[in-house]
Amino acid sequence: MTHNIVLIPGDGIGPEVAEAAQRVLGATGVRIDWDRVECSEKVIRETGESIPTPVVKAIERHKLALKGPVTTPIGGGYQSVNVALRKKFDLYSNVRPVKTMPNLITRFSDVSLDMVIFRENTEDLYSGIEHEVVNDVVTSLKVITRRASLRIAEAAFTYTHRFGRKKVTSVHKANIMKLADGLFLRCCREVAAHYPEIKYNELIVDNAAMQLVAKPEQFDVLLMPNLYGDIMSDLAAGLVGGLGVVPGANIGDHHAVFEAVHGSAPDIAGRGIANPTALLLSSVMMLRHLLELSAADRLQNAIEMVYKDAKFLTADVGGNATTNQFADAVISHLA
């Protein structure tokens, strides 16, 4: 079977890591027909569109995309490309696995972490509903709905069940926002009741942040509204080495975009030293989404073996290899 996938290289180091991901995915044996479309700061300025029309049409056609980092132009009122994609295609489930890589030295190197964060992607304070009541007095509305809360909870529990995980932790501030976060919690509990084999617990967000730093190994799957999820997923990434070594996905009922969540790093663009790990791990997630489970497991293992060998790591993780050398090493382990 051949999979039709949209490739959005992005800008900065995006094209370099995207090319590496293409080569590595080719080596898995999975047949992919790529539809490459351009979305970069330059293209956005030229078209005046946060998501250029060819990108929208390609995702509508193929339902699935692999995306490198894209720079959102500063000034001109352009919406974040990521936010625009989430709203356009109703990609309500933001999924961020956080896993310790072998030999990667961090402050938490003595702890093996393996957690997945599910963040509701479409509402909360990120609805962007703000109003200046009078001069210098602004209100911002936190929007929580039953529909959105139920579907992100269902996504988290379905994932937990499918991949044999054991526990889901809902993160909230219902002690203060009794209506908004209270509704979110009620929906999580409702879904949890359908999965009695999965352990379920709840943590207030400030306590969860402390626990994530003090004892991160206790967490398995975390489930939370948009704002908390945005903050906590980056905090969790910091425990394992940063955004350069964690993947990400934005998934809806009909479309999905898998992406590197780090920036475009224009300071090192074109030098061939960018770390492709995040986009490669996002590719692992994409393969699982496509039910290419054997290829996904082989690719995950190959990436981890490159870190375990520590011979072809890029500068940001303590080595001196190029992007292509890292990719070649992954391909070698795949073989």
Kindly list the domain boundaries of the chain, sorted by start residue.
1-95+244-335, 107-239
107-239 sits in which CATH class? Answer: alpha beta
Statement: residue 76 has pLDDT above 80: no
| Residue 156: per-residue pLDDT | 98
Question: Quick one: three-class SS letters along the chain?
Answer: CEEEEEEECCCCCHHHHHHHHHHHHHHCCCEEEEEECCCCHHHHHHHCCCCCHHHHHHHHHHCEEEECCCCCCCCCCCCCHHHHHHHHCCCCEEEEEEECCCCCCCCCCCCCCEEEEEEECCCEHHHCCEEEEECCEEEECCECCHHHHHHHHHHHHHHHHHCCCCEEEEEECCCCCCCHHHHHHHHHHHHHCCCCCCEEEEEEHHHHHHHHHHCHHHCCEEEECHHHHHHHHHHHHHHCCCHHHCEEEEECCCCEEEEECCCCCCCCCCCCCCCCHHHHHHHHHHHHHCCCHHHHHHHHHHHHHHHHHCCCCCHHHCCCCCHHHHHHHHHHHHC
Check if 1-95+244-335 and 107-239 are the same fold.
yes
> What's residue 136's pLDDT?
96
Looking at residue 63, its pLDDT comes to 97
Q: pLDDT tens for residues 2-55?
A: 999 999 999 999 999 999 999 999 999 999 999 999 999 999 999 999 899 999
- Tell me what percent of the residues of the chain surpass a pLDDT of 90: 90
Residue 77 has pLDDT above 80, yes or no: no
pTM, two decimal places: 0.95
Render pLDDT for 256-299 as a digit per residue (tens, 0 to 9): 999 999 999 999 999 999 999 999 999 999 999 999 999 999 99
How high is the mean pLDDT of the chain?
Answer: 95
Q: What fold, for 1-95+244-335? A: Isopropylmalate Dehydrogenase (3.40.718)
Q: What is the pLDDT of residue 83?
A: 86
Whether 72 has a pLDDT exceeding 90, the answer reads no
- Convert the pLDDT of each residue in 188-219 to its tens digit: 999 999 999 999 999 999 999 999 999 999 99
> Residue 36 has what pLDDT?
97
